[in-house]
Amino acid sequence: MTLRVFHYKNCTTCKRALALLDKLKVDYEPIDIVTAPPTQKELKGVLTRTGLPLKKLFNTSGQSYRAGNWGERLAEVSEGDALRALAADGKLIKRPVVLGEDFALVGFDEAAYRSRFGKTR
CATH of residue 86: 3.40.30.10
Structural domains counted in the chain: 1
Q: How many CB atoms lie within 10 A of CB 108?
A: 21
Report how far apart the first and last C-alpha atoms of the chain are (Å, whole number): 24
Q: How many CB atoms lie within 10 A of CB 30?
A: 14
pLDDT band for position 119 (50/70/90)? low
Q: How many CB atoms lie within 10 A of CB 112?
A: 13
71-99: pLDDT as tens digits = 999 999 999 999 999 999 999 999 999 99
Sign of CA dihedral 86, 90, 96, 101: positive
pLDDT band for position 30 (50/70/90)? very high
Please report the pLDDT score of residue 121 as a whole number.
44
Q: How far is CA 66 from the centre of its chain?
A: 18
The closest of 74, 76, 56, 78 to 66, measured between CA atoms, is 74
Please report the pLDDT score of residue 1 as a whole number.
59
Q: At residue 120, does pLDDT exceed 60? A: no
- Domain housing 106: 4-117
